[in-house]
Amino acid sequence: MTMYDITIRAAQLSDAPIIAKVVAMAIGDEVALNNYCGENYIDVLTEIARTEATQYCWQNAIIAECNGIVAGAIVGYDGAQLEPLREGTFNILRNTIGRVPTIAAETEAGEYYLDSLAVMPQFRGKGVGRILINALCEWASAEGHERVGLIVDTDNPNAERLYTSQGFERVGERIFFGHKMHHLQRQTNKEGVQ
């Protein structure tokens, strides 16, 4: 068994291409990605990640590295800031693909929103996702937030198991990108199960 030295750090501007890949992996649906960002969605998501005051801005991301190699990332922000962050994101979409998608709000005031999480395939099953989730919860707590929220597709029980194993509980349902989603939340002071 290979041992991994997993380190966590705040993302940097140079991490924008990695953040774009993580967001695309988290969305996971090619049709949704094309509808949201166009055919060149990685380039568009990279531009969004490079730009301040957007949902996927590098300043909203945490990077995990295993033995110095990027293993995954997580993106989150204050749910009360969804509309201004979306406006920044939508400005880039207007300028790059000429349109803005109509999508429901995935978060709200009163929670720190875990927007996107993905672990690179070669590092899955090594605890990277759990470490990133706990890092985001600590980050949210340090900013004064009491709850972290997220949505997970009802057709993705493995992802829901990961989140519930880390202290998240269902609090409702939402429709997002045409999919039924469970809305989960966790208290920031609650420790995840390792």
Residue 122: which CATH number? 3.40.630.30
Query: Is pLDDT of 112 > 70?
Result: yes
Is 124 a member of any domain?
Answer: yes
Owning domain of residue 183: 6-187
How would you label 151-178 residue by residue, b for 16+ Cβ within 10 Å and e otherwise? Answer: bbbeeeeebbebbbebbbeeeeeeebbe
Residues 30-66 have pLDDT tens digits of: 888 988 899 999 999 999 999 999 999 999 999 999 9
* Dist CA 189 CA 167 (whole Å): 10
Is 193 a member of any domain?
Answer: no
Is 194 a member of any domain?
Answer: no
Q: Which residue has the tokens 């949704």?
A: 32
Query: Is pLDDT of 178 > 90?
Result: no
Is 148 a member of any domain?
Answer: yes
Is 129 a member of any domain?
Answer: yes
Q: Give the chain's domain count.
A: 1
Is 192 a member of any domain?
Answer: no
Is 147 a member of any domain?
Answer: yes
